[in-house]
Structure 1
């Protein structure tokens, strides 16, 4: 419990500790990985390992941890043939997350967005632009901006160093021209980038 105290809201510690113990989970908190917030793996001895990035704010950490526990519980209940983010996982995630969707755990600006997100949860909370932006307010300050905050024509760099120019908005995503190749890529509005020239 003392480990989780550092990473999630206080009132979520006890129920989450019980969930981890009940499911024989080895929780590993790791340095930031750019491609994921967390992951789940069954271990050969019948136990389970969940890894979560240490740099997540307490609300994103909580959602990510429950997301990964939902994989474990769904696989145990329905078998390994299910899709990783299919209907069985969605129902399991909704069921496990429901007790935490409370104003004494999540802030008032995040709670309604979480409630909406959990009507049909996606593989990553980052694909829900409104929820992602609300959760980002609780991150440590960075020098990055969201794509949607940039003016059209702004030059920016992604985490891997590639440079792009922001183009027009389509329905939900933005067309961005890669400077080096001249190819056009689509970006979600809530991708965080480093502005090089606005």
Structure 2
């Protein structure tokens, strides 16, 4: 506790090697707060600076932390094909409003092996004309992979955009059986 009797925010992080490259996972006492693609040293350091400024405390590297242990286990099981969906406490403090509403619906309502269109997801949260705003929400997702923005596609059959890059989106959808595995 700090001098005012309030619990200080604790943020811990670790980098996990995966089939789509290194992922940085960060957690608070509330739950997993951030997942960052392509977590090379430079990308990781920039993400840690962003987290420190948003959460008001410097994240600490702690791969053995109980706050991260289950998230690491589930991410590793997911990429090994032993887990289809995540069952983790999530800290939604990095996102609010419409974006949070859309991402919560995505997390609870679009299971592994399925996809949803941007417009359909907008309709599910009561904003049927907000397909573009859903795209913005996907781009601001602080918890990709765990909150599966890769499962949101264009209504005409296109793959849509993806913050982690289209090849990463294709790999995740192939892992989930939505797309065929690449031939080479």
Relative to the length of structure 1, the TM-score reads 0.29
Which has the greater radius of gyration?
Answer: 1
- Higher RCO (Cα < 8 Å, 6 or more apart): 2
Relative to the length of structure 2, the TM-score reads 0.31
